[in-house]
């Protein structure tokens, strides 16, 4: 539902945006000089230039990011036009007629450059929590939504692995969308080997996202789900599919199947079925790719739930769309309900889009201070 709504809004916005850019472009002096008094010709020339710009962006990026750039350019140009109409009305001096075009171009370029930087560079996000169910302290590092091949390839994961190793984590968890349909076999293998370089006290754990199994055929991808699982296991990663593991006798890691399994026909266990038989006096870390079923996870006794999927809302002004359409319960950050802490990460990479204007890429470090 959310993606249908976003797609419809994007298509409508793209159509309106192209029309507005044609109108604004037809006012340029060089175009008016070529067209003379023939307004239709100035519009045709402007349309040709807009199509040419779209074609260049299409080749340089891809269709999705081309639409994103064009939408931003049109939206900012419309806003600047409104501001300059007010400025012309109240300004005592004459305003240069091309100033709005120049300001719009500079503003969009700067804004999207920031969005590109926030998408392709990775920050460390730290949280400190407390629990009386934990004996001693616990450092958990979360990697999610790497979508290998999107903003970095398999070998490009290694620099972040080295940074994580320097943190001396007790445990590292991968909460889904490690790979997707666009990940090549070579990148998948390289990424699994990079994960194998992690140095932890208690191990590395993986739970599925909605993209890991993919939607394309295995022939189109060049690798299979079994190959992915084998490579992860060969690199000392424990796969959790509606399963739990007791670590060092003091805390559990519980990995849920992704919510998408409900539509794939596989289904998944409820939080109660997963945690109902576990020792209620011990701390429970739940890996659940999509941030949903919060109340059920609270009732089942989860203490920390780590999710991704949302990409932090990705782009302004769409960052709250998932919460408005109830596709998930939280877009980003930390929320506490009862004795349960929920953390949603914006992800270490991206999928399809090359810009993050509503968030930035990250890996998460959670320090849980035990009171026992």
Partner residues linked to 125 by β-bridges = 364
pLDDT at residue 213 is higher than 70 = yes
CA neighbor of 290 nearest in space, from 313, 303, 307: 307
pLDDT at residue 335 is higher than 90 = yes
What 3-state class would DSSP assign to 100? helix
pLDDT at 4: 64
Percent with pLDDT over 70 in the chain? 94
From residue 148, alpha-carbon distances to 158, 292, 325 in Å are: 12, 24, 28
pLDDT at residue 47 is higher than 90 = no
Answer whether 279's CB lies under 8 Å from 245's CB.
Answer: no
- What does DSSP assign to residue 95? P
- Which range scores top for mean pLDDT: 149-153, 260-264, 265-269, 321-325? 149-153
pLDDT at 372: 60
What is the pLDDT of the chain when averaged over all its residues? 90
pLDDT at residue 5 is higher than 70 = no
pLDDT at residue 330 is higher than 90 = yes
Q: Which of 180-194, 320-334, 358-372 has the lowest average pLDDT?
A: 320-334
How far apart (Å, rounded) are the C-alpha atoms in residues 201 and 283? 17
Q: What is the mean pLDDT of residues 34-61?
A: 85
From residue 292, alpha-carbon distances to 110, 174, 316, 349 in Å are: 35, 17, 22, 21
Q: 81 or 188: whose pLDDT is higher?
A: 188
Q: Which of 3-7, 138-142, 172-176, 214-218 has the lowest average pLDDT?
A: 3-7
Task: Quickly list DSSP for 67-81.
Answer: HHHHHHHHHHHHHHH
- Residue 325 CB-half CA count within 13 A: 14
How far apart (Å, rounded) are the C-alpha atoms in residues 359 and 315? 8
* Residues contacting 175, CB < 8 A, separation 6+: 142, 143, 144, 207, 209, 287, 288, 289, 306, 307, 308, 345
Q: What is the mean pLDDT of residues 58-73?
A: 87
CA neighbor of 206 nearest in space, from 240, 160, 244: 240
59: number of Cβ within 10 Å: 9
How far apart (Å, rounded) are the C-alpha atoms in residues 52 and 48? 6
Q: Which of 96-105, 130-139, 293-302 has the lowest average pLDDT?
A: 96-105
CA neighbor of 161 nearest in space, from 151, 170, 172: 172
What 3-state class would DSSP assign to 341? strand
How much is the CA Rg of the chain, to the nearest whole Å? 24
pLDDT at residue 279 is higher than 70 = yes
pLDDT at residue 95 is higher than 70 = no
pLDDT at residue 16 is higher than 60 = yes
How far apart (Å, rounded) are the C-alpha atoms in residues 24 and 20? 6
pLDDT at residue 257 is higher than 70 = yes
pTM listed for this prediction: 0.89
pLDDT at 353: 86
pLDDT at residue 9 is higher than 70 = no
Q: 66 or 7: whose pLDDT is higher?
A: 66
Only one residue has tokens 């300004």, namely: 91
pLDDT at 12: 74
Domains and CATH numbers, the chain: 2-118 (no CATH), 123-370 (3.60.21.10)
For the chain, report the end-to-end CA distance as a whole number of angstroms: 46
Q: What is the mean pLDDT of residues 253-265?
A: 92
- pLDDT interval class at 204 (50, 70, 90): very high
pLDDT at 90: 72
């Amino acid at each position: 539902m959310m993606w249908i709504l976003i797609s419809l809004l994007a298509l409508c916005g793209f159509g309106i945006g192209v029309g507005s850019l044609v109108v604004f472009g037809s006012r340029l002096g060089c175009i008016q000089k070529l067209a003379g008094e023939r307004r239709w010709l100035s519009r045709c020339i402007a349309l040709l230039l807009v199509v040419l710009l779209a074609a260049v962006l299409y080749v340089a990026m891809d269709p999705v990011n081309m639409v994103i750039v064009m939408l931003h350019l049109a939206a900012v140009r419309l806003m600047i036009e409104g501001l300059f109409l007010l400025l012309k009305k109240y300004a005592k001096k004459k305003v240069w007629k091309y100033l709005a075009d120049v300001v719009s171009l500079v503003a969009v370029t700067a804004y999207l450059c920031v969005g590109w930087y926030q998408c392709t560079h990775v920050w460390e996000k730290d949280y400190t929590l407390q629990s009386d169910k934990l004996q001693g302290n616990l450092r958990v590092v979360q990697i999610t939504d790497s979508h290998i091949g999107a903003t970095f390839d398999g070998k490009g994961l290694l620099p972040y692995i080295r940074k994580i190793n320097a943190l001396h984590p007790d445990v590292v968890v991968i909460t889904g969308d490690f790979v997707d349909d666009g990940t090549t076999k070579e990148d998948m293998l390289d990424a699994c080997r990079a994960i194998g370089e992690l140095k932890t006290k208690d191990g590395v754990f993986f739970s599925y996202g909605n993209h890991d199994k993919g939607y394309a055929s295995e022939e189109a991808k060049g690798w299979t789900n079994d190959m992915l699982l084998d490579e992860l296991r060969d690199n000392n990663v424990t796969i959790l599919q509606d399963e739990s593991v007791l670590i060092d006798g003091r805390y559990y890691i519980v990995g849920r199947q992704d919510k998408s399994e409900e539509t794939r026909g596989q289904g998944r266990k409820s939080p109660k079925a997963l945690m109902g038989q576990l020792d209620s006096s011990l701390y429970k870390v739940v890996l659940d790719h999509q941030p949903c079923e919060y109340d059920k996870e609270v009732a089942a006794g989860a203490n920390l739930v780590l999710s991704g999927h949302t990409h932090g809302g990705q782009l302004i002004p769409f960052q709250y769309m998932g919460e408005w359409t109830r596709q998930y319960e939280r877009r980003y950050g930390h929320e506490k309900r009862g004795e349960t802490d929920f953390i949603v990460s914006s992800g270490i990479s991206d999928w399809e889009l090359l810009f993050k204007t509503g968030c930035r890429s990250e890996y998460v470090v959670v320090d849980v201070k035990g009171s026992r």
